[in-house]
Amino acid sequence: MLETNSPTPLYHRIYAVMRERIVNGYYRSDIPVPSEAELAESFSVSRITIRKAMEMLTTEGLVTRTRGRGTFVNDRGQKNRFNRAVVSNINGLFSYLNAVGQSTRLKVVSLDRGEAPPRICVQMGVPPTDELVRSVRVRLLDRKPYSLSMAYLLPEVGGTLRRQDLATTNMIDLVQRTGAVVEQVEQTLTATLADEYAAQHLEIPIGAPLMRVNRLFFNAEMTPFYAAEILYCADRYEYRVSLKREQGKDFSLGGAQPD
């Protein structure tokens, strides 16, 4: 689903998608990324095109290519010191999820058990070889794909999920029916690009801009038990926050001087 009329060279668009995957922890650092042949088949392009894209990633220092071993992702997991959490009320999130559920329709893509992407395993604090319950769904708004939602749950929480329930009910409602208590949710919003999987289900070109929302749900013991990753079409999603000054809690920037 790569756009054929795009002015951007094909290899550069594949480079952009692969770069997003690497930066966002799609691949483990101790296992080689798919071979040129596998990537060529996945993207439906030639190996020469894949090779050019991988050369760009190598030049940028994102991967290391070793003859006989394969291509490995370099560890670039440095935290930005400005990545600070803003604390808010969990009820607002649940109200928003309920409103979305009432305005959209769900299509279940899959429900199974298996290994999760490395970034999800790190978030949930589980070994990469552990099996989690995995659910993939597409939300439809006005009969068109609005979002692609991937859920990863500990087996003791997601083991009783059924496809027929996933087609009609918000995941958070299904989770709470199992008796799980949501004590805290961490949410992160980032911009990303559509890979071939997201492009297929959202019916958009590979490399199209997306908004990615990651939510990590903690139980009463502050143990993560459910990770959600939602990809929204950038032209159909808006995240709006209203910020209000609290009376008696004014502050000034440290280096600011009076006018």
Q: What percent of the chain has pLDDT over 90?
A: 34
pLDDT (tens digit per residue) in 136-160: 999 988 888 989 999 999 999 999 9
Show the DSSP H helices in 83-191 as ranges: 90-103, 118-124, 155-158, 163-166, 171-177
Strands 224-233 and 144-153: antiparallel
Instruction: Say if residue 198 is in the same domain as residue 95.
Output: yes
Q: Is residue 54 part of a domain?
A: yes
CATH number, domain with residue 69:
1.10.10.10
- Same structural domain, 223 and 123: yes
Whether residue 128 is found in the same domain as residue 229: yes
Residue 86, number of CB atoms within 10 A of its CB: 7
User: How does residue 164 score in pLDDT terms, banded at 50, 70 and 90?
Assistant: very high
pLDDT, tens digit (0-9, with 9 covering 90-100), for 78-131? 444 434 444 455 556 556 566 666 677 899 999 999 999 888 998 999 998 899
pTM for the predicted model, two decimal places? 0.65
Supply the DSSP symbol for 81: T
**Structural domain span for residue 53:** 10-73
In a domain, 1, yes or no: no
- pLDDT tens digits, 204-254: 888 888 999 899 999 888 999 999 999 998 877 777 767 666 666 665 555
The verdict on 43 and 139 lying in the same domain is no
Residue 150 and residue 124 share a domain: yes
* Assigned domain for 23 exists: yes
Q: Is the residue at 139 inside a domain?
A: yes
Sign of the four-CA dihedral 126, 35, 229, 60: positive
